[in-house]
Amino acid sequence: MVLLHGHPRTHTTWHRVAPLLVAAGHTVVCPDLRGYGRSTVVPTTPDHAPYSKRAMAGDVVALMRALGHDRFAAVGHDRGSYVALRTALDHPDAVVRLAVLDCIPIVEHLDRADARFATAWWHWFFFAQPEKPERAICADPDAWYGSLAPGRAAAMGEDNHADHLAAIRDPDTVFAMLEDYRAGLGIDRAAEEADRAAGRRVTCPTLVLWSGRDDLEDLHGDPRTIWAEWATDVRGGVRIDSGHHMAEEAPDELVAALVPFLAM
């Protein structure tokens, strides 16, 4: 299986989850998304296509094939869930299971974007602006992300925390992470609108997990209801007792939800 992280994390966010999945008998691949962590920062274009979820999904399939895995499960959290969704939609012969964590499709967020959503998720719209978010974040990345708050390193895990700091302190990586958001509001939204108009849906078994102490359910209700319009085989889901970064905060509960689903 491939585990796809979110913003502003790197592949090391899975450091408590991956060993448990390996112990359960799974082969686990944890890459940095394009432009995140130590992954390649590529030149962009006016439509931000190099950082689209379609481009990232192509990276995932190419990586897994290079490692000898033509078929695999895709597990994504936060921004990684959008990549996992796009991988399942664009490469249905490759993705045999899909698990989406703390996510609904981008277009579903935007269709529901009211004052509550804009207040809580203002960063989506700020990150989409040219140049200004880079200047704000790079002026003091540690403060922007609260990365040096007391107890943060211990909560994340020392090595994971160090990898995170290295990423957010690199201006090129910050630029690439923002390009992900710029693509999200433009080319990625358009791709999802086209999927919906064409009736294209995820056909592999799909699991929906969300954090009980984050705001996804507060804003949009039970996310499984939304995912039922995007996947033909939603096999339940569960609220995880954690904040947003469930892989770091509740690894045992997360793995307990994933393992039975992956064995179906």
Low-confidence residues of the chain: pLDDT under 70: none
Q: Tell the residue number behind the tokens 């509960």, with chain if given.
A: 253
Name the residue ranges covered by the structural domains of the chain. 2-263
Query: What pLDDT is recorded for position 264?
Result: 75
Q: Tell the residue number behind the tokens 């984050």, with chain if given.
A: 214
The partner residues of 208 in beta bridges, in order of sequence, read 100, 237
Question: Which positions are catalytic?
Answer: 78, 244
Query: What pLDDT is recorded for position 87?
Result: 98
Q: Prior bond to 251 cis, omega within 30?
A: no
Query: What pLDDT is recorded for position 188?
Result: 98
Are β-strands 234-240 and 95-101 bridged in parallel, bridged antiparallel, or unpaired?
unpaired
Q: Express each pLDDT in 180-199 by its tens digit.
A: 999 999 999 999 999 999 99
Task: Tell me how many degrees the CA angle 243-138-115 measures, rounded to the nearest 5.
Answer: 50
Q: Express each pLDDT in 105-127 by its tens digit.
A: 999 999 999 999 999 999 999 99
> Closest Cα to residue 31, out of 58, 52, 54, 70?
58
- Contact (Cβ atoms closer than 8 angstroms) between residue 87 and residue 93: no
Q: Pinpoint the alpha helices (H) of the chain.
A: 18-23, 53-66, 79-90, 106-111, 115-120, 122-127, 132-139, 141-145, 152-156, 158-168, 171-183, 189-198, 216-220, 223-227, 246-249, 251-263
- Contact (Cβ atoms closer than 8 angstroms) between residue 48 and residue 176: no
pTM over 0.95: yes
* 2-263: CATH architecture: 3-Layer(aba) Sandwich (3.40)
